[in-house]
Amino acid sequence: MNSYNEDLKLSGLLDWLVSHDRISDEKEWENKFDELTELLIEIDRINIREFVDSRQADKTEYLIKINNDFFQGLDSSEQISAFYDSGLNWPGFWARNMFILVPPFVKQGVKIPENLKNLYAESRHCFIFEQFNVAVVLSRAIIELALKMKIGLPMESKDWTAGVVLEKALDKKIINDSVYWIAKKVITTADKILHQGENIEHQETLNALDHTRQFLEELFG
């Protein structure tokens, strides 16, 4: 069910429940309430959109916030059960994505700064949760920050974008041609997201993560 249909169904259920007496229509009322409860778990919490019924806007937000609070109070097994009962099955998708990744080993003696290691770990978490665009853009940022460190530039230098700093690093022979082209692939992919609004797929993200690891290994090795 798409977001619009979810919202439309939610509005219809709210209308029905408000306009019917629970005592006189007990069985049907409870069935409708069960539908509402299930829908509040499943409803799209990601995509921005208009309310299909402006009369229900405040009531809809109020109910979803109550349901969110209720969900946060469940223990982990109950939360996972709620996911599976709703048909989302997200934990399974995330587990499968995690087991696609290979540990990002680097050669012995490579000393990567801790903040870059943390950012790189975050980019891999983004892949697991299928935030592919974020993973690639974060990889671009890692390359930019790493090169600024090597060149000795302030981290907040806004004029030194990833592309500019990469060219400067090559000119200063901080990197060789091979490392340059590894980084260039990541930056080019990220630029398609940032400047052309493209969506990056699974394999391109894996490539960017691996190229970023190779880049860090060579730069700090």
Choose the final residue of a domain: 19, 51, 85: 85
Q: What does the pLDDT look like over 29-62, one tens digit per residue? A: 999 999 998 888 888 887 878 788 888 778 888 8
Q: Which domain holds residue 170?
A: 95-220
| Residues 197 and 164 grouped into a single domain | yes
* Domain end among 85, 116, 143: 85
d(CA 189, CA 205): 9
What's the structural domain count of the chain?
2
Angle between helices 132-151 and 114-128 (to 10 degrees): 170
What is the tens place of the pLDDT at every residue in 61-119? 888 889 889 889 989 888 888 777 776 666 777 888 888 998 899 998 999 999 999 99
Task: Establish if 90 belongs to a structural domain.
Answer: no
Indicate the residue among 25, 56, 85 that finishes a domain.
Answer: 85
Same domain, 53 and 142: no
Contact, 209 vs 119, CB < 8 A?
A: no
Check whether residue 108 and residue 81 sit in a common domain.
no
Same domain flag for 114 and 181: yes
